[in-house]
Amino acid sequence: MKNPRIKRSLIPLASLFATSILLFGCGGTANTLSQAENTKVKVEYFANNALGNSLAVVQHPAGIHKNGITYVSYQGPLEDPYVASYNHDSGQWLGPFKAGISELGKDAEQPKKIDNHGKPTMIIDDLGYIHVFFGGHGGDKRHGKNPLGNIHYGGNKHAVSKRPYDITEWEELDNITPFGTYNQAVKMDNGDIYLFYRHGAHRSDWVYQKSTDHGRTFGPAVSFLKHKKRKDIAADDSWYAWVTKGHGDDIIISYDYHVCWNHKANNGRGHTTERHNVYYMVFNTKTGEWKNVNGKALQLPVTKEAADIHTLVASTGKDWTFNGSAHLDENGYPHIGINIGKDLGAKTGGPKQTSYFKWTGSQWVGGKPVNTQARLDNTDTRGDFMIKSSNEVSFILGYKEQEQAILSYFNSTDGGNTFVKGQELLRKQKAGWALTALIENAHPDARMIVAEKPQGSSWNKVYLIGDNGPIMRDKSQADVLTLKDKQRLENYK
């Protein structure tokens, strides 16, 4: 176990501005307003300096509601993590503040593009300190040999607030391995913190590290999903997992299988994002046992062969998948959202629609798209869902209708057999969405963090979305993107 070593203090991003503010729209045009005029304007977004694919369902929690305040995080300029907060009682925003310095977005040796894998994951420990994990895409040669897989770029990092519930100043702790990406953090009822991630690039095990001292030290990485070479084709077994707290001492895991093709294989296509199937298993943190949905014990790390026999929810055949999320109902039965679509020949396959599965106590059922119109329109959907009861399920989905990006509820009252479009939360022209999993312990006014990705720009506006739509903010506070940030991105690209 490594002892934490504070590496440096990080200077917060100022959230107050000079008398005149240069405002940049989605298309890059500029307007100048006086501070007095600008303060009177309310906007739907809380920040406009999110970068690239600045949010994702897999890196979670990205936001937490605690003591009447919602804390949110996202990927900002130079791929660094940024944190803001909203006080629901006072209606006041704070931040965003830079919470750490990522190794991504700055290295001249990495590809000249936005990496997007180092988005922050957040947890608040039992003492009130806020933690973010960020910056990893498998580690690189500077970090040495990866014992559990291969490497790519960046380095997994961990920063913590200097004071409880205070996002203004941060310090970095050197207590996790740099070989990580897709961080997911879980805090148990006894205060133990589990950090799950892929231990490297595609050809790597999925692992967890455990902390029993509020994230100040972490134990060694433990593999729970095994990567290995296939014998039948020129590819490796690989995985994408989604992890969250279950009931009591349990952590639940849904995942899909990635066929990690060699670069010169796959009928000449090389490596693609090809993934298949849906799987589910449970980790009892008190006993240390891993089991399938029927309670059968599993041996770690779980291999493809064992997963197919013991943890398979559904085989998707030739259809490709993109992993979603999982939640439990009042009976402790799991429900899973997974994105499924056709392989249309591109590196990323075809559009994928969010589909829904659930465990009845004896079998897995479901598999139909939640938004049936999106399937007819051949467009992607992404999102997360809430379970009010075993029969009442509500998804928040982002999708597109022609040139419009829409965020809307889709509700079922018949156990997921059918879903009906409910309240529309946001609609934007000529844009796409990046969005998170549901905010942990979410306030009804702040369910999800959503980034608007305008056509022709790498800069996103970020929204805090709840049952009444986005939480508004003064434009003078929300417009934090600077000319320097824009110029640095252009120089890097």
d(CA 100, CA 106): 13
Establish if 440 belongs to a structural domain: no
160 shares a domain with 42: yes
Establish if 438 belongs to a structural domain: no
313 shares a domain with 213: no
237 shares a domain with 118: no
Domain of residue 104, CATH code: 2.115.10
Establish if 356 belongs to a structural domain: yes
374 shares a domain with 337: yes
Q: In the 8-state DSSP scheme, what is residue 65?
A: E
Residue 9: how many other CB atoms lie within 10 Å: 11
pLDDT at residue 36, as a whole number = 54
**Residue 187 region by backbone torsions, left for phi larger than 0, else alpha for psi between -120 and 50, else beta:** beta
267 shares a domain with 247: yes
Q: Are 414 and 438 in contact (CB under 8 A)?
A: no
276 shares a domain with 183: no
215 shares a domain with 156: yes
Establish if 403 belongs to a structural domain: yes
User: Would you give per-residue pLDDT tens digits along the chain (493 residues)?
Assistant: 444 434 434 434 444 333 333 333 333 333 445 555 556 899 999 999 999 999 999 999 999 999 999 999 999 999 999 999 999 999 999 999 999 999 999 877 666 789 999 999 999 999 999 999 999 999 999 999 999 999 999 999 999 999 999 999 999 999 999 999 999 999 999 999 999 999 999 999 999 999 999 999 999 999 999 999 999 999 999 999 999 999 999 999 999 999 999 988 998 899 999 999 999 999 999 999 999 999 999 999 999 999 999 999 999 999 999 999 999 999 999 999 999 999 989 999 999 999 999 999 999 999 999 999 887 788 899 999 999 998 999 999 999 998 899 999 999 999 999 999 999 999 999 999 999 999 999 999 999 999 999 999 999 999 999 999 999 999 999 999 999 999 888 776 5
d(CA 340, CA 480): 37
| Cβ contacts of 289 within 8 Å, gap of 6 or more | 283, 297
Establish if 457 belongs to a structural domain: no
Which residues are catalytically annotated? 117, 182
202 shares a domain with 234: no
Q: Are 138 and 151 in contact (CB under 8 A)?
A: yes
Starting at the edge strand found earlier in the chain, the sheet holding 181-187 runs 181-187, 193-198, 206-211, 222-225
102 shares a domain with 236: no
pLDDT at residue 15, as a whole number = 40
153 shares a domain with 178: yes
Q: CB pairs under 8 A, 24+ apart, for 243-248?
A: 243/184, 243/186, 243/194, 243/196, 243/208, 244/60, 244/184, 244/186, 244/325, 244/326, 244/327, 245/186, 245/187, 245/188, 246/282, 246/328, 246/332, 247/328, 247/332, 248/189
220 shares a domain with 93: yes
Establish if 446 belongs to a structural domain: no
d(CA 292, CA 283): 9
411 shares a domain with 267: yes
d(CA 403, CA 407): 13
Kindly state the tokens that stand for 265: 């294989």
Establish if 249 belongs to a structural domain: yes
Count: domains in the chain: 2
Establish if 463 belongs to a structural domain: no
Closest CA to 50 of 327, 439, 445, 432: 432
d(CA 364, CA 368): 13
pLDDT at residue 489, as a whole number = 86
d(CA 232, CA 230): 6
Kindly state the tokens that stand for 197: 């991630």
* Domain coverage including residue 398: 229-418
